[in-house]
Structure 1
Amino acid sequence: MKQALLIIFLFTVAAASAQTIQIAGNLKTTTGEAVPYASITLKNSLQHIITYTTSDVNGHFKLSVHDTINIQGKTIEINHLGYKKVSTVLRSGQTLYDIILEDKKINLAEVEIKSPPKIRSKNDTLSYDVGSFTKSEDRSIGDVLKRMPGIEVEESGQIKYNGKNIANLYIDGDDLLNDRYNVGTKTIPHEMVKDIEVLQNHQPIEVMRNKSISDEVAINLKIKEEAKLKMSGQAKIGGGTPNLYDLELNSILFNKKHKMLNVAKANNIGIDLSTDLTAFNAKNMLQAMDNRRPAELLSSGTASTPGLPKERYYFNESASLNANNLTNLKNGFQLKSNIGLFIDNNHLDYNSWNEVYLNNDTIRYSESQDISKKPYLANISLNLKANKKTYYFNNTLKVDLSGQKDASSLNSNNLNIGQLLRTNTYDFSNTLNYIPELKNKNILSVNWYINHYNQPQSLAITPGMNENTFNDSIPFQGINQSTEIPTWFNNVSFGYRLPKGLIKQNYLVGLISEWQHLKSDLELTQANGEQTSFAKSQNNDLYWNRHRFYINPSYEYERGPWESILSIPLAFQGITYSDENFTLQEQHKRFLFNPNWLLKYSVNSEDYIATNYSYSNQIGNINDIYRGAILTNYRNLQTNRTTLQEKDTHNVDVRYNFQRSISMLFMNVGANYSIVSANTINSLEITDNLSQTVQLPFANSTNTFSVNGGISKYIFALDLNVGLRSSWSNTRYNQFLNDQLLPFNNISFVFNPYFETRLLNQISLKYEGKGTWTTSKLISDKVNNSFPNRQINVLDQSLGLSYAPTKDMFMKISGRQLMTKQKNMEKIDYFFTDLSIRYRIDKWKVDLQLDANNLANIKSYEMYSLSANEFAYSHYQLRGRTFLFKLTVRL
């Protein structure tokens, strides 16, 4: 730790000692008018470019160079279409230049007219002209986003810019969707959007702008003026075979005072409507507490979902309502409501087998299950906000109710089992933030977050199983497991920020309190119907309190190309927990120190290199210390025999970002190394029908090193957007298996090329591939060689061909190959083909569409998975061939 702090100090001193010279100027015409968007380059005597920039809308420009460079004799060169080129020699001591540009006549006979995609850069905002990237077959703004260089849209709908997740998606500057932007990108017609603005170094709080360093990226949809005049929407009705339906009704209004996006949907075609209610970067004050919210304790099966798009295997009956409404009030306040409702009835049919490799033995599990799931979700968010230059006020009230009922018939190792799993979630929270600017220009912040959360679960299994473990080898009728952890959480903090001076300072002090109560019952139904408790363990009745008082000073340095943020939080934490059933009464008190340091160097106006170091002390939660046995699923019995888990994590991250916005070239590369040290380890005790997980007091560490990179380029001459993403990671960790410590090494490599181009103005071709190579091996096997090295190679590639024979007709055929190779196993290879035909009748504002999916009628899918010393095979039922006809009316 001392060495880490010394390194931080030395780098900060080096950053503070770096100096730059600012060369500024104004560009004007001979008549005194400003010349915007001119190209300004600083060159040396060999005509090599030192740095460059562009003039803003008022003709101003600014160049930054190191003070080690002698500017005397260097040349500023100004280029702009319609003006004569100007070269100005710099003079020693002069940093401000007023430059006059003369008009230049252009011989129109020599001009070749082209319409390449348009992209503009101004300060930290990059603007894509939507019309320049739109193709005739596009419908929503999400279709256009997918082909913009530098922007990635993952299969889940999450958006990245040059490899970095966006923090939010705004509509004309307003946060209408609360980060649940999937419904927006799917619904908003691209015709409504003029520009897509990428906001780099984005600070969403107005009073904090230019007073705090931010490295967040957000996207803003700039709406066309004519689209703000009236409400619009769509109505869609679809039907097909076998017994398919797809319905949607939406209404859209985006003007200065009111914004709304309301969508109602229902379908049974395999489209997961719950993704419209997913927040990709949910950020609130609960993140201030490590591991605060316990995960679900119970589940009904062990198999993972197949590595396919969900619509291939999702047999559903779904309906959803997504209502987002925002009003800007006259006094500068903004009132917003977000309401989401979702219900579903779906089922999954699969069978699987697992091989677990032990010394001198291999244990095999088989599982065949038909699960029927009935989830529901209702969430309401009410928000009142004022975001002004003098203060920021925000209050958000959220209520989330959700649950699921799973009923399944299961065959495991030739034993027929019936299961019923019920889960309900109750989640209430309120967030209050008040950040005023004081008269002395310093900034005060008051934050309060309160939350109540509970997730009761119950699992019923019939008939009784593993009687030798549960019931002294006496047959019995069934098992009933129930759990719940009602939780209250409170976080109050006060901050004081000094935004002036060479080093900006911020001091935050706060108190976190947490109260939890874990209750679990494991009961057996005997042959005579009597209910008895599991004799080998008491039920859990565990009380947990955690309180943390913290002080977090942070310091920001920004000068020339250097930026640095140093956070050195210190906290005192006290934890008490007790369970009378196990005569358990413990206290845990300690200081926590979690420093974080970011250093960023801007190579020029677009490129930067950043490094981040963090060290964290993490203390476990209530899931780590319960003593009573819990049957988490029909095959896994879990308990703990250790003290509270503690983890120390060192993490180092380096990232280089390169972009040439005007030429549409974007690149990024990064590396990460982390060491996680813990005082506990999970021990697995595996038998032929049951796996028992016990947490033991044994020192354990996990080391991970990874590198990743990506490149995206638009080639104007070929109308081609091409890119490549790749990553490599190596993880070393330990696992206790049947009382033996086994060190494993997992290596993964991912290669992801893609391109999209247009041919002959009527044909579009799109390709995306993803190759994954995963290897798992035992680092040292001193006993014998019973643990073979395992490697799985997976190839997932898709090719789409679109054809527009007329301006109103669009045809698309796509194919997707999924191939899996494993040594000594038969290769698995699938190829899915889909066809879509759409005809637009503008006169009636109607679209007619026919979708034919899975033309090869593939009705089942096989996959392998690899983890440490376990190899798994799964077989899933698919939807088969479908035909769907849709009618869409633009309202």
Structure 2
Amino acid sequence: MRALLISLIFVLFGLASAYAQKQIKGNVKDTKGAPVVSANVNLKDKDGNILSFTRTDDKGNFTLSFNEETKDLSIEATTIGYEKKILAVTDLAKVYDVVMKDSEINLKTVVVKNRPALSLNGDTLNYKTSDFADKQDRSIGDVLKKMPGIEVSEDGKVSYNGKGISALYIDGDNVLDDKYSIGTKSIPQGAVDKVQVIEKDQPVKMLRKNNMSEDVALNLVMKEEAKLKVMGDIRAGLGTPDRFDGNANAMLFKKKTKFINNIKGNNVGIDPGIDLTAFNPFNSGNDKPSGFLSAGAAGVPTLPQKRTLFNKAGLANLNNLYKFSDELQVKANIAYLYDQRNQQYSKFSETYLSGQTITYNELQENAINPQKFQAKLNVLDNADDHYFSNNLVTNYSLNNTASNVITNGIGANQALNQKNFEISNELSYRKKLKSENTFNFFSFVSRTSQPEVLNINPGLNEAILNNNQPFAGLNQYVKLPTWYTNNYTAFAFVNNKFTQTYRVGFNLQHQELGSELYRIQNNGNTELVSSQMTNNLAWLKSKIYTDATYEYNSGNFKASLGLPVSYNHISYEDETKSLDKNLHRVFVNPSLSLKYQTGIENYVTANYSYNNNLGGIDDVYRGTILKNYRSLFANDAPITESKSQSVGAGFNFRKAMQMFFLNLSANYTSSTVNTISSYNLSNNIQQRVVIALPNDMKSLGFSANASKYLFNLRSTVNVGASFNQSTFEQLQ
């Protein structure tokens, strides 16, 4: 009976509750009749109080339950992307259809400040160009200067953490070789997606598997839209008095065709010839003198060039690459420079000797007209199992200088003409053999001529050059044709972490130095000043060499030991000077380099080398050459022989994510040379004679450089310090 009573109470309570609770049903759709899912639906009274709320289901249906007996109810539907909809409740039994209209959402502007970041992928460090670029940055070179760890010098040389780059690639292609400054100046920064720093860069594909390279290169990854068509710009500026500065670029960066062609000219103190600077010039071993004659003692001022250069110059610089396939390509780099310069130079110097003071008070005005033509044609076949490269290079330079000089009150006019023509061919072939072993053949051949003529009027230093008699002028002639070749074959044997390379080769250098100094008498007669002021020197320098290189690479530790051995023979003769000499030397020039990776991003290096070197033809000619209006040069010594030892160490530290870079280095070099220059000075002329006298030279250097990106200031700070000390002996 008790259980029946309790059950009856619960039933009556449930019926009472069911009777008190009310429901409103409906459906929410958009203007096209599609259900609006998950819309918020509220039931409100006349004061706006929410009595019930729910969400629509996947068909847009909703049910609102409530208990209060209230009049003036309303249904409110809201959701993102639709206007709010309100309907009045008129009948609780009615099913309400709510139609919502689409609406646009205007969000407040939000400025997102991205924190620049570097990404590291193996040996490649990636800089996002947009993270470092500003609106005022025109070229990629402007942005490179802001990237931590990267430095750009005044002449355009690019370095990474203290080390100069070996190449500047554009989407993996080396369009510009080592004259890459035109690329950093011309390529718009907006066309570059990212800059990649490639450590351990190895351009030869077949050597990448067992890579021992320590070179660093930069690769510019172009944006897709920058590859679609020719880009370029034209800039021109005019000023007073009669000033101009113009520049025109045309660039294309397609997969098969790439070019950077530039024409520029100005007379506002900018040297366009800087674009022809080779930052990693090929060392052929052809150590010939660059020139014997000069216009005088005027040097390069230490002030900024724009303040001291008065010029009118133009440069055409054409660089074009075409790829037949991923392996085969042809490239042409052609440039022509025309320049006119005006210089005014004054110098006062005193040299104090025992019981005598030598004074030079010099004024000089120069009109200089240098011209350069450079052409290089390269054919490259770079595959996984072979490598072929052939460079045909032509260089021609013409330099004309007209000078007015006054030395200690004595005036004269000078005219200097120098021509230098060189044509060369460099061939390199590599073939991969079995077991990753490789064969290499290399050949380099060049022909050079460099005639020079110096005219001076009226004649100077008659006490030395014309028996104390006044005369009309002097003509100095010098010519030095040169043949040179260097050839070798090499085999490399790879065994896991070890690589052994054995090379054998030879080089030959043949030169003929001819010079004469003529004087012109006041009656117009031309005669040889003296037989002692002529040269007819034949020079032959040959070397047979072999070297063994042993390399070890365990990942964290690298070591390289070089053991080159060479037999050197030099013969030179000048019958007019009763000169006939021969020299035979065997040299061993060992070298050792070590590298240890102290962390993922940090490493230390150490190196040692011992070198023997022999001088060139400019060390042994006996006949006097009039170098300029007040300098006579000659030699009275054997071939210069030098021995040097060098030791160095370095530490490279990097925290890429924090954008902090640090490098430290120290170097010490000690050398001994068997000859020294002796000078005989008077108030009108300087005579230099090289004599046999052993002497020592020592140099010590330290450097430290750091680069840090300041995120709050969005700028890079570079700090560097260096110390150098040299000691040498000088003949008094």
TM-score tier by shorter-chain length is 0.7 to 0.9
Residue deviations 1:642-695, cap 9 Å, x none? 111100010111111111111111111111110110111111111111111111
Separation in structure 1 between the aligned mates of residue 326 and residue 653 of structure 2, nearest angstrom: 42
Separation in structure 2 between the aligned mates of residue 246 and residue 350 of structure 1, nearest angstrom: 26
Separation in structure 2 between the aligned mates of residue 389 and residue 364 of structure 1, nearest angstrom: 66
Does 2:539 correspond to 1:544?
yes
Residue correspondence of structure 1 range 6-405 to structure 2 within 5 A:
114-284=113-283, 286-287=284-285, 292-330=287-325, 332-405=327-400
Secondary structure at 1:529 match in 2: coil
Equivalent position of 1:609 in the other structure: 604
Residue deviations 1:501-521, cap 9 Å, x none? 342100111110110011111
Residue correspondence of structure 1 range 573-588 to structure 2 within 5 A:
573-588=568-583
Count of equivalent residues: 623
Equivalent position of 2:34 in the other structure: none
In the alignment, is the contact (CA less than 8 A) between 2:680 and 2:686 conserved in 1?
A: yes
How much does 1:725 deviate?
0.9
Separation in structure 1 between the aligned mates of residue 188 and residue 111 of structure 2, nearest angstrom: 32
Q: In terms of mean alpha carbon deviation, does 349-358 or 632-641 score higher?
A: 349-358
- Structure 1 counterpart of 2:417, from 416, 422, 426: 422
Secondary structure at 1:191 match in 2: helix
Secondary structure at 1:180 match in 2: coil
Separation in structure 2 between the aligned mates of residue 373 and residue 499 of structure 1, nearest angstrom: 55
> Considering only aligned residues, what root-mean-square deviation do their CA atoms show, in Å?
1.4
Does 2:455 correspond to 1:456?
no
Mark the CA change 1:336 to 1:608 in structure 2 (over 3 Å): closer, same or farther.
Answer: same
Does 2:626 correspond to 1:626?
no
Equivalent position of 1:649 in the other structure: 644
Separation in structure 2 between the aligned mates of residue 348 and residue 112 of structure 1, nearest angstrom: 55
Secondary structure at 1:175 match in 2: coil
Q: Which amino acid aligns with 1:276?
A: D
Residue deviations 1:85-115, cap 9 Å, x none? xxxxxxxxxxxxxxxxxxxxxxxxxx99531
How much does 1:128 deviate?
0.7
How much does 1:527 deviate?
2.1
Separation in structure 1 between the aligned mates of residue 530 and residue 326 of structure 2, nearest angstrom: 66
Q: Which amino acid aligns with 2:365?
A: D
Equivalent position of 2:729 in the other structure: 734
Equivalent position of 2:562 in the other structure: 567
How much does 1:331 deviate?
6.9
Structure 2 length-normalised TM: 0.84
Secondary structure at 1:230 match in 2: coil
Separation in structure 2 between the aligned mates of residue 530 and residue 562 of structure 1, nearest angstrom: 73
- Calculate percent identity across the aligned residue pairs: 38
Q: Which amino acid aligns with 2:387?
A: Y
Q: In terms of mean alpha carbon deviation, does 114-123 or 449-458 score higher?
A: 114-123
Residue deviations 1:262-305, cap 9 Å, x none? 11112111111111122111124x13x5xx12121110010211
In the alignment, is the contact (CA less than 8 A) between 1:159 and 1:166 conserved in 2?
A: yes
Equivalent position of 1:443 in the other structure: 438
Separation in structure 2 between the aligned mates of residue 113 and residue 324 of structure 1, nearest angstrom: 41
Q: Which amino acid aligns with 1:718?
A: L
Equivalent position of 1:517 in the other structure: 512
Separation in structure 2 between the aligned mates of residue 654 and residue 276 of structure 1, nearest angstrom: 33
Equivalent position of 1:8 in the other structure: none
Residue deviations 1:349-393, cap 9 Å, x none? 121112223234332211111100111111111110011111111
Q: Which amino acid aligns with 2:213?
A: S
Larger Rg: 2
Residue deviations 1:54-108, cap 9 Å, x none? xxxxxxxxxxxxxxxxxxxxxxxxxxxxxxxxxxxxxxxxxxxxxxxxxxxxxxx
How much does 1:118 deviate?
2.4
Residue deviations 1:482-537, cap 9 Å, x none? 11211111011101001223421001111101100111111111222211222271
Separation in structure 1 between the aligned mates of residue 351 and residue 215 of structure 2, nearest angstrom: 44
Equivalent position of 2:56 in the other structure: none
Equivalent position of 1:659 in the other structure: 654
Does 2:578 correspond to 1:597?
no
Equivalent position of 1:34 in the other structure: none
Separation in structure 2 between the aligned mates of residue 134 and residue 112 of structure 1, nearest angstrom: 18
How much does 1:191 deviate?
0.7
Q: Which amino acid aligns with 1:522?
A: L
Separation in structure 1 between the aligned mates of residue 254 and residue 445 of structure 2, nearest angstrom: 34
Equivalent position of 2:25 in the other structure: none
Separation in structure 1 between the aligned mates of residue 240 and residue 117 of structure 2, nearest angstrom: 43
Equivalent position of 1:507 in the other structure: 502
In the alignment, is the contact (CA less than 8 A) between 1:509 and 1:550 conserved in 2?
A: yes
Separation in structure 2 between the aligned mates of residue 259 and residue 485 of structure 1, nearest angstrom: 39
Does 2:707 correspond to 1:708?
no
In the alignment, is the contact (CA less than 8 A) between 1:237 and 1:248 conserved in 2?
A: yes
Equivalent position of 1:531 in the other structure: 526
How much does 1:719 deviate?
2.1
Q: Which amino acid aligns with 2:161?
A: N
Q: In terms of mean alpha carbon deviation, does 348-357 or 144-153 score higher?
A: 348-357
In the alignment, is the contact (CA less than 8 A) between 1:538 and 1:581 conserved in 2?
A: no
In the alignment, is the contact (CA less than 8 A) between 1:212 and 1:499 conserved in 2?
A: no
How much does 1:556 deviate?
0.3
Separation in structure 1 between the aligned mates of residue 332 and residue 142 of structure 2, nearest angstrom: 27
Secondary structure at 1:699 match in 2: strand
In the alignment, is the contact (CA less than 8 A) between 1:341 and 1:378 conserved in 2?
A: yes
Q: Which amino acid aligns with 1:444?
A: F
In the alignment, is the contact (CA less than 8 A) between 2:200 and 2:211 conserved in 1?
A: no
In the alignment, is the contact (CA less than 8 A) between 1:429 and 1:449 conserved in 2?
A: yes
Separation in structure 2 between the aligned mates of residue 340 and residue 379 of structure 1, nearest angstrom: 5
Secondary structure at 2:571 match in 1: strand
Separation in structure 1 between the aligned mates of residue 566 and residue 529 of structure 2, nearest angstrom: 41
Q: Unaligned regions of 5+ residues in structure 2, if any?
A: 1-109
In the alignment, is the contact (CA less than 8 A) between 1:538 and 1:582 conserved in 2?
A: no
Q: Which amino acid aligns with 2:510?
A: W
How much does 1:332 deviate?
2.5
Q: Unaligned regions of 5+ residues in structure 1, if any?
A: 1-110, 741-891
In the alignment, is the contact (CA less than 8 A) between 1:711 and 1:723 conserved in 2?
A: yes
Does 2:480 correspond to 1:488?
no
Q: Which amino acid aligns with 1:326?
A: L
Residue deviations 1:731-752, cap 9 Å, x none? 111111xxx3xxxxxxxxxxxx
Q: Which amino acid aligns with 2:311?
A: N
Q: Which amino acid aligns with 1:701?
A: D
Mark the CA change 1:211 to 1:269 in structure 2 (over 3 Å): closer, same or farther.
Answer: same
In the alignment, is the contact (CA less than 8 A) between 1:394 and 1:434 conserved in 2?
A: yes
How much does 1:471 deviate?
1.5
How much does 1:439 deviate?
2.9
Secondary structure at 2:463 match in 1: helix
In the alignment, is the contact (CA less than 8 A) between 2:288 and 2:617 conserved in 1?
A: no
Q: Which runs of 4+ in 1 moved over 3 A?
A: 111-114
Structure 1 length-normalised TM: 0.69
Q: In terms of mean alpha carbon deviation, does 383-392 or 718-727 score higher?
A: 718-727
